[in-house]
Structure 1
Amino acid sequence: MGRTLRGQEAFNLFQQGKEAWNCFIDEQDVTKVDFRGVTFSRALELKVLSISFRGFVFPEVRFETLNFDSLSTIDFSEAIFRGNAYFSGVMFPVGKLLFSGACFKQAAVFSLSSFQGGADFSEAEIEIGVFDKTKWLREGDVSFNGARVGGLNFTDSEGIARIEFYFGFRSCNSGIDFSNSTFHEIQIQVPTPVLIDHLRFDCVKVHQECVLNNLTALHISMRNCDFNGNFMLGDLVVKRLDCAGSKFERNADFHNIAVKTYIDFNGCSFSHPVAIDGIRLGDPIGWGEFGTQSALSQSLSSIKKRFFMEETEPHNEIELAEIAEYARSYRRLKQLAAESDNHSLELDMFALELKASRWLKAEWWARIPYDLYALFSDYGRSLLRPVVGLFIFWILFSLVYMGCAASSSRSDFMGQWSAGLLLSLAQSVPFLTWHRTAKSEALAVLYPAAGGFDVPWIVHLAAVSQSILAVIFIFLLGLGIRNRFRI
């Protein structure tokens, strides 16, 4: 069994410096160091106001319940913690707390500790950092710039002053958890594009401003939070953002946010109109990936897959439940966009809601109207598509009318072509009084007969079909105009 250093013996060895300490730890096979009970300021007889463990090598070490309040600086820079490092219940000083370049090969436990200023963990390597139930008593910055982190836990913490967490990770294999914490004012910055597995903010209370910027995560959860001051979430790339049940008492600003699946605002309450400009969401047809195709090509692809049975169906109830969650979250975003008078975003959320709802139809034929609505009007957002549809069917039906023309009229090709176009145009606007006159003139040229004209039954069928299609396309055009100009 290895040796344990305790109390005064450990302190005496510390006073001999880094070289003596590290040599003794290795040569004497020390497996545990326990500084509990040592009063550093008194032991140093106040000759210095700082202590340095810079470059020290520790096995499992305990600093629990120590009070460093009278010191100005505590320096653990470049220290190596081979075992668990326990700083639980420690009162850290108002001055500098340095762990820059430190290496925690196992857990770094700061539970129930009190920080009277900031803390510097820049360039540190932390397998797991446990900061639950900590208190941040004064304004300060907590920096993890350039750190390699397995995971950080700040649950049930309390910040009495303004705290800025600077997570400039080189890597973060797990996540960051602030659940059930209370802060006076908090700002979280993640300047480097490192993927964080999850950021949990559930049941957090922030009395003043809360700012979360430049985050990249698989999942950000802020359920049932109370934000009493201004809230800003921006420059975000995330797979899923969950804000269900949270309360925003002041201004809430969500800007430049890219979400690969959906945002959940269900059950949220906003005291002021919410700013959700610049939100970009994924497409349920693409199964959560950012759409790179145009809306037209997506619609054509969807119809092609449907009719040629190439479409991938949701395979189980879990996937169907996820799609239903998409639809529900898009519906809520549509409501928020309407409340904030963001008509463009409201239309976009309506389109995504329909795309998600389409998957919930059990029968394949029940999905066809959704595909056609997308193809011919982009869910009521396009003016060009109905016009193009009218033009295409105008030409197609004119060819049908020409193909059924009487043999006696086929010698005059140009006259026949003009009459076919005229008849097709008349059927495209059946509600105009001009329709009857133009139709009679065209029929007389295409299907002449003694005493009038003889129209084949297939032409009657084509004319009725074209009139119905024309009314549909004109309706879609009117819908597009209404949505574009909010008539």
Structure 2
Amino acid sequence: MTTGEVDETNRSSTQANEEDAQASNTVVEPEAGKVLAGQEAYDLYKQGREAWNQWADTHAGWVVDFTDWDFSEEKEVNFSEFRFPGSAKFNKATFGNRYVSFDHASFGEGRVYFERASFGEGHVNFGGASFGEGPVSFQGASFGDGHVNFAETSFDGGDVAFNGARFGDGDLIFNNARFGDGGVTFWRTSFGKGVVSFQYASFGDGFLSFADTSFGEGHVSFMDVSFGKGGVLFQKANFGDGNVDFLCANFGDGGVSFYGARFGDGDVNFDRASFGDGVVYFIETNFGDGRVTFNKASFGDGVVSFEEANFGDGDVDFFGARFGDGDVHFDQVIFGDGDVSFRGASFPGAIVLDKARFHRVPDFRQVNFGREISLHNTEVGYQEEWYGIFLKKAVNEEASDRLRGLRRMAAEARDHTREMDFFAKENRAKYIHELNLFQYFPIFLYDFFSDFGRSILRPVVGLLFTIFGSAWVFYDQSWKGSFWDALWLSVSNALPFVPWSRAARPDYVTALYGQKISELQLVNFVAYGQSILSLIFIFLIGLALRNKLRL
């Protein structure tokens, strides 16, 4: 799927979420039931839980309406274990800076609205509350800096909307909350500096959206969360600098999208997360400088794409990750200064790393590949530091072993350009870590004079240097003849396999030395040395030409 198609898909999903949000904004009045509202409802509330629940048990289906009601003068607002027989409306209610509790409250099968309700700086507790089959809406509600608790709250099946809600700097807890098959939306919700935790929560088969949501500086945890078969959207969500935890999260077969999401400098943890067969998008996702881990995460058979994602300077680890039969894309991904490891990962489908940029050598050792590997224009950085005055060594002592793994990948992908590049870096990285100076010296010469068989210019320059250097010695040791005679003698000595060279060589020797060539030890020594060096340089030129043609 192209990036443009992904953009269109995400725009369509966002538009659908907005339309659903607008639809749930519409308050539908009860068809035939009666309403307990305003002062009457308040008077009954003041009589306490027992009187309220007795009334509720005998008034099934009645609507309780506290719209626009001001509770700010109360010492506390306590609806703990209250039962609501039908719909409940707290739209635009003001609770003031008081402790507000709906702990273990039971809402009926009607609609429940807290839209644009204003909670002050006190704690808010919906722990253990039970909502029925009707929709539940906290759209536009504002919470202060107190803690907000929805732990073990049960939403039986209707849509749940927190779109546009604002939470302060207290902790927000949805641990062990249970959502039904209705849609759950936190679209454009804003969280403060406190912890946001959905640990062990379970979502039904409706879609879940945190699109355009802004998380604060606190820790965000979806550890051990169970997501249903619906789509899960975190597209363009903005995570603060706190740690983000999806450890052991279980995603269903619906699509999962973190398209355009931004993570801060905290750690991001998807270790042992399980993704279903739907598509998984981290396209254009920005990760901060914290550590990003997908260790032993498992992906289904859908396409997995990190196209154009940007990783910061923290380590990135996909150790032991298992991908399905769908294609895996890391096209144009930028990895920062941290260590990157895919060690032990499995890619049964195609893996695409076109134009990916690694600042350091990644670890692809013990990786199992299935189908196509694409490394077109992949860039791998190679970090060196000075060792002594003239030589350098690899910063990472595992660099040569890692580059060996990359070279094998390139060979399997039949990408000769990358294969040669990784071979060159692999051999350079052996110095000190695997080979001492004397063992490395032949490799150093191979690198210096041919760039490991990739350079035509270097051996050509070497060949010309031997020709002109030898010609200068030949001329200096002669007592007759010209420099041109010495130069042509040097050329014929450098190209002995050319028939003309064999025929003309005796004439140039005679022109320079007469018949006394055997007495000139320096000339003989240079001639033999030139012949050997010339053959080496000619071989390196041919090797470079062969490698160029293979490209």
Q: What is the match of residue 20 of structure 1? A: 94
Secondary structure in structure 1 of the residue aligned to 2:465: helix
* Alignment CA distance shift 1:249-1:171 (3 Å): closer
Q: CA deviation at 1:105?
A: 1.0
Question: 1: CA distance between counterparts of 2:434 and 2:321?
Answer: 35
Secondary structure in structure 1 of the residue aligned to 2:355: strand
* Alignment CA distance shift 1:328-1:339 (3 Å): same
Asked whether the equivalents of residues 72 and 95 of structure 1 are also in contact (C-alpha less than 8 Å), the reply is: yes
| Aligned mate of 2:379, from 280, 305, 316 | 280
Asked whether the equivalents of residues 229 and 250 of structure 1 are also in contact (C-alpha less than 8 Å), the reply is: yes
Corresponding position: 1:271 with 2:370: yes
Asked whether the equivalents of residues 6 and 35 of structure 1 are also in contact (C-alpha less than 8 Å), the reply is: no
| Aligned mate of 1:132, from 217, 223, 239 | 223
Corresponding position: 1:214 with 2:278: no
Corresponding position: 1:421 with 2:487: yes
* Alignment CA distance shift 1:436-1:312 (3 Å): closer
Asked whether the equivalents of residues 128 and 154 of structure 2 are also in contact (C-alpha less than 8 Å), the reply is: no
| Aligned mate of 1:438, from 504, 510, 525 | 504
| Aligned mate of 1:235, from 328, 332, 357 | 332
Question: 1: CA distance between counterparts of 2:541 and 2:438?
Answer: 25
- Higher RCO (CA < 8 A, seq sep 6+): 1
Q: CA deviation at 1:233?
A: 2.2
After TM superposition, the structure 1 = structure 2 runs for residues 68-467 of structure 1, keeping only pairs within 5 Å, are 68-75=155-162, 77-92=164-179, 94-98=182-186, 100-115=188-203, 116-126=206-216, 127-143=218-234, 145=236, 147-149=238-240, 150-166=242-258, 168-169=260-261, 172-184=264-276, 185-191=278-284, 195-209=288-302, 210-217=304-311, 218=313, 219-230=315-326, 231-239=328-336, 240-285=339-384, 309=389, 311=391, 319=395, 322-323=396-397, 325-360=398-433, 363-406=436-479, 409=480, 416-432=482-498, 434-448=500-514, 453=517, 456-467=520-531
Question: 2: CA distance between counterparts of 1:357 and 1:31?
Answer: 63
Asked whether the equivalents of residues 10 and 33 of structure 1 are also in contact (C-alpha less than 8 Å), the reply is: no
Asked whether the equivalents of residues 177 and 202 of structure 2 are also in contact (C-alpha less than 8 Å), the reply is: yes
Q: Give the letter aligned to residue 75 of structure 1.
A: F
Higher Cα Rg, which structure: 2
Q: Give the letter aligned to residue 248 of structure 1.
A: F
Q: CA deviation at 1:310?
A: 5.0
CA-based RMSD of the aligned residues comes to 3.2
Question: 2: CA distance between counterparts of 1:10 and 1:82?
Answer: 28
Q: CA deviation at 1:82?
A: 2.0
Q: What is the match of residue 412 of structure 1? A: none
* Alignment CA distance shift 1:201-1:334 (3 Å): same
Secondary structure in structure 2 of the residue aligned to 1:337: helix
Question: 1: CA distance between counterparts of 2:279 and 2:268?
Answer: 15
Q: CA deviation at 1:343?
A: 2.0
Q: CA deviation at 1:276?
A: 2.6
Asked whether the equivalents of residues 4 and 34 of structure 1 are also in contact (C-alpha less than 8 Å), the reply is: no
Higher mean C-alpha deviation, range 471-480 or range 181-190: 181-190
The percentage of counterpart residues that share the same residue type is 21
Question: 2: CA distance between counterparts of 1:228 and 1:382?
Answer: 41
Higher mean C-alpha deviation, range 139-148 or range 149-158: 139-148
Asked whether the equivalents of residues 155 and 177 of structure 1 are also in contact (C-alpha less than 8 Å), the reply is: yes
Corresponding position: 1:468 with 2:514: no
Q: Give the letter aligned to residue 272 of structure 1.
A: R
* Alignment CA distance shift 1:270-1:362 (3 Å): closer
Question: 1: CA distance between counterparts of 2:284 and 2:208?
Answer: 18
* Alignment CA distance shift 1:368-1:453 (3 Å): closer
Asked whether the equivalents of residues 76 and 102 of structure 1 are also in contact (C-alpha less than 8 Å), the reply is: no
* Alignment CA distance shift 1:11-1:402 (3 Å): farther
Matched residue count? 445
Question: 2: CA distance between counterparts of 1:5 and 1:428?
Answer: 100
TM-score, normalised on structure 1?
Answer: 0.81
Q: Give the letter aligned to residue 94 of structure 2.
A: A
Question: 2: CA distance between counterparts of 1:356 and 1:364?
Answer: 13
Asked whether the equivalents of residues 284 and 310 of structure 2 are also in contact (C-alpha less than 8 Å), the reply is: no
Q: CA deviation at 1:84?
A: 1.8
Secondary structure in structure 1 of the residue aligned to 2:417: helix
Q: CA deviation at 1:346?
A: 1.5
Question: 1: CA distance between counterparts of 2:421 and 2:523?
Answer: 40
Secondary structure in structure 2 of the residue aligned to 1:183: coil
| Aligned mate of 2:80, from 8, 31, 35 | 8
TM-score, normalised on structure 2?
Answer: 0.72
Question: 2: CA distance between counterparts of 1:5 and 1:380?
Answer: 80
* Alignment CA distance shift 1:112-1:5 (3 Å): farther
Q: CA deviation at 1:156?
A: 0.6
* Alignment CA distance shift 1:474-1:107 (3 Å): same
Q: CA deviation at 1:258?
A: 0.5
Secondary structure in structure 2 of the residue aligned to 1:21: strand
Question: 1: CA distance between counterparts of 2:280 and 2:126?
Answer: 34
Question: 2: CA distance between counterparts of 1:6 and 1:244?
Answer: 55
Question: 1: CA distance between counterparts of 2:440 and 2:83?
Answer: 75
After TM superposition, the structure 1 = structure 2 runs for residues 27-46 of structure 1, keeping only pairs within 5 Å, are 32-41=123-132, 46=134
Higher mean C-alpha deviation, range 358-367 or range 346-355: 358-367
* Alignment CA distance shift 1:4-1:392 (3 Å): farther
Asked whether the equivalents of residues 98 and 122 of structure 2 are also in contact (C-alpha less than 8 Å), the reply is: no
Asked whether the equivalents of residues 266 and 288 of structure 2 are also in contact (C-alpha less than 8 Å), the reply is: no
Q: CA deviation at 1:40?
A: 3.7
Query: Residues 323-346 of structure 1: CA distance to partner in whole angstroms, max 9, x if unpaired?
Result: 3x2111111121122222222221
